[in-house]
Amino acid sequence: MSIIVQKFGGTSVASDESRERVLDKIIKEKDAGNKVVITVSAMGRKGSPYATDTLISLGTDLKPREMDLLMSCGELISASVVVNGLMRRGYNACVLTGAQAGILTNETYNDANILRVNPQRIVNALSDDIIPVIAGFQGMSEFGNITTLGRGGSDTTAAILAEAISADETHIYTDVDGIMTADPRVCREATVIDAISYSEVFQMADSGAKVIHPRAVEVARRSGIPLYIKNTFSNAEGTAIIHCPKPGSIVLEGNECKLITSIAHLNDRVQFIIEEGPSDDAFIFPLLADKGVSIDIINIFPSRKVFTVDKKQVWIVSEVLEQNKITYETIEDCSKVTIIGERMTGVPGVMARIITSLQKEKIPLLQTADSLTTIACLIHSKDLERAVSVLHRTFDLA
């Protein structure tokens, strides 16, 4: 017997038909003799009556505390409807809010951090053969206020509850067959990845791939509990997120281990170029940090500084530079393409293959940055699809 945490996203609970599939997935695990703990997102996406973005539009003038109360309603509705479906099919189930499930957070409304979890009510429900269905995305502060965990918070709920009850597996259900080698909307050759490491998924999410919230991956890596990304609407095996797959595992192709696991991208990047500034103008970066500006890629040379930021923060950067009489240029409409792979650490020639591939396609390379497991390239957004596709072929990801 295993304890399995199942999380179902907004599209999975959006309609009567999809919710029946959710019930099928839950009951399949339950009938196999496993104990199941369920967490759910709000129904559908913006425009659906109970979706989080729809609820937000109803309270545009609310303070953060009251907004969290409003936003927490969507998951409660989903949980109640799922419990109703389970009861209708003859299974005993109960609804728990995030607070009732024991999730205690700080009081940072709209983006709270979880401080600790007391899962006793979940444990009691499992002991009584009751399926607990928990409203994701929410918790309660030490002062008794309802808080929400930020975008993707239901993923975090699932991972943190799995850790708290020492679950054997966490299954994240969505509307795709698993994590893919690239965004299929950008690269038609993208395929589902069978297995991937926690670190690689964290890098994918941090580099723009909308697979699973980075905070959830960090919790799963800490606990060592395998995460599976699965499709509510198919019986595909999905993607296993585990510790780094070893040579001889399913990530091998022939006798050679693939260096690169996936390619992610971020749009709406803007590059700032400061030419021949004074050597002491590095003070500008602490000023930008104080203004909440997150710098994406940065390269500093004796007479030149180049960095990129999100398009939404361009006006802040421009204001700070102009106030300090620093001359600059910008290149707008950029995208960052990041190749990710734990096995490329220490392997020579990876950057050379990237540069050669892009040059053959006449795609200008504006800026680069690298770490042990990633290489990021800044390009013009108009070249994004070609760049991702050629890199996907170069590293044989299909």
Tens digits of residue pLDDT in 183-194: 999 999 999 999
Q: Any alpha helices (H) in the chain, and if so which ranges?
A: 16-31, 52-57, 64-71, 73-88, 120-127, 153-164, 198-206, 214-223, 284-290, 314-323, 350-360, 384-394
Report if pTM > 0.75. Answer: yes
Q: Which residues pair with 174 in a beta bridge?
A: 231
Contact 74, 136 (CB under 8 A): no
Instruction: Write out the two tokens for 142.
Output: 């030490």
Contact 267, 335 (CB under 8 A): yes
User: Which residue would you say has higher pLDDT here, 207 or 158?
Assistant: 158
The average pLDDT across 158-179 equals: 95
What pLDDT was estimated at residue 246?
A: 47
The reply to whether domains 3-175 and 262-394 share a CATH topology is no
What pLDDT was estimated at residue 277?
A: 62
Q: Which residues pair with 64 in a beta bridge?
A: none
The average pLDDT across 221-231 equals: 94
What pLDDT was estimated at residue 249?
A: 40
Distances (CA, A) of 179 to 18, 140, 150, 318: 21, 31, 22, 37
Q: Which of 35-44, 200-209, 263-272, 354-363 has the least mean pLDDT?
A: 200-209
Q: 244: pLDDT confidence band, cut at 50, 70 and 90?
A: low
Q: Which CATH architecture has domain 262-394?
A: 2-Layer Sandwich (3.30)
What pLDDT was estimated at residue 250?
A: 39
Q: How far is CA 288 from the centre of its chain?
A: 26
C-alpha count within 13 angstroms, C-beta hemisphere, residue 203: 24
Phi-psi region of 167 (alpha: psi -120 to 50; beta: other; left: phi over 0): beta
Q: What are phi and psi of 291, to 5 degrees?
A: -85, 0
Instruction: Write out the two tokens for 381.
Output: 């957004």
Instruction: Measure the CA–CA gap between 358 and 268, rounded to whole angstroms.
Output: 20
Asked whether residue 248 carries a pLDDT value surpassing 70, the answer given is no
Residue-range domain boundaries for the chain: 3-175, 262-394
Instruction: Measure the CA–CA gap between 30 and 16, rounded to whole angstroms.
Output: 21
CATH dotted code for 3-175 = 3.40.1160.10
